[in-house]
Amino acid sequence: DTGVSQNPRHKITKRGQNVTFRCDPISEHNRLYWYRQTLGQGPEFLTYFQNEAQLEKSRLLSDRFSAERPKGSFSTLEIQRTEQGDSAMYLCASSHQGIEAFFGQGTRLTVV
Amino acid sequence: LAKTTQPISMDSYEGQEVNITCSHNNIATNDYITWYQQFPSQGPRFIIQGYKTKVTNEVASLFIPADRKSSTLSLPRVSLSDTAVYYCLVGVQNFVFGPGTRLSVLP
């Protein structure tokens, strides 16, 4: 394992469909973060986990967004009833005790 | 969370030293200062982190004055490949990004 892995890299979906993204962090990292990034903007923090506990979720954009990390390893981010405004790059990062975060390549979502 | 302010953009020429300053007037006692670099279509990459005075690694230096209300990322002898967006983060968790500074290195 050489880094954070995100799948899929690209996703095109029709408006109203549900999508799920997966993030596999670096194996010994206990913290995992999700971000959304749109063109020309910095990454927008969504939520983070310490092990399997979701410690911050107030910044999830709406109740259509949810994230899980069931066994403290990989995580999934789900967007229900997608809207065109959800089109963005979704980034995952992991860290050990929050010191240096390592980011994945991201999943680019296009809602048509 | 401490709010940060950085220049929106900067231009430089190859071989020059570049200094990017970040203001964080309401930094808290326990907050660290962290800088990330991001290239187009890639996730951000950690550059350096510090708490006070000066930190140096193989790619950059970070200068933090005694009042810690600002910090300066110094990139020595930049090359074209240093063209990127640079983000300053402040906090204990260090997970909130601002808009960053878009650095363009010209030949």
Q: Give the contacts of B58 (CB within 8 A, at least 6 positions apart).
A: none
Q: How many angstroms separate the CA of residue B15 from the nearest CA in chain A?
A: 27
Kindly determine whether residue B95 and residue A103, on different chains, have CB atoms separated by under 8 Å.
no
In sequence order, the β-bridge partners of residue B59 are none
Which of B43, B46, B92 has its CB closest to that of A105?
B43
Say if CB A6 and CB A105 are below 8 A apart: yes
Query: Is B43–A100 a contact, with Cβ atoms under 8 angstroms apart?
Result: no
Q: What residues pair up with A11 in beta bridges, in sequence order?
A: A109
B49 touches A at CB < 8 Å: yes
- Whether the pLDDT of residue A1 is over 60: the answer is no
Of A44, A98, A104, nearest to B43 by CB-CB distance is A104
Determine the distance in angstroms separating the CA of A24 from the nearest CA of chain B, rounded to an integer: 15
- Chain-centroid distance of CA A66 in Å reads 10
Among A37-41, B12-16, B39-43, B93-97, whose mean pLDDT is lowest?
Answer: B93-97
The whole-number pLDDT of residue B2 equals 64
State the Cα–Cα distance between residues A53 and A80, nearest whole angstrom.
22
Query: Minimal CA–CA distance to B56: which of B36, B85, B81, B76?
Result: B76
Residues of chain A above pLDDT 90, percent: 73
The residue in chain A having the minimum alpha-carbon distance to the alpha carbon of residue B99 is A42
Nearest Cα of chain B lies from the Cα of A37 at a distance, in angstroms, of: 10
What is residue A64's predicted lDDT score, i.e. its pLDDT? 95
Closest chain B CA to residue A4: B43
A65-98: pLDDT as tens digits? 999 998 888 999 999 999 999 999 999 999 987 7
Look up residue B51 and give its DSSP letter.
S
pLDDT for A99 equals 73
Q: From B35, which residue of chain A is nearest by alpha-carbon distance?
A: A100
Beta bridge partners of B73: B20, B62
Q: What percent of chain B has pLDDT over 70?
A: 96
Q: Does any CB of chain A come closer than 8 Å to the CB of residue B45?
A: yes
- How many Å apart are CA A25 and CA A71, to the nearest integer? 12
Q: Which of A26, A99, A107, A109 to mutate to test the interface with B (most CBs of B within 10 A)?
A: A99
For the record, the structure tokens of B80 come out as 């074209």
Please tell me the number of Cα atoms within 13 Å of A36 on its side-chain side.
Answer: 19
pLDDT at A28: 86
Average pLDDT, chain B: 93
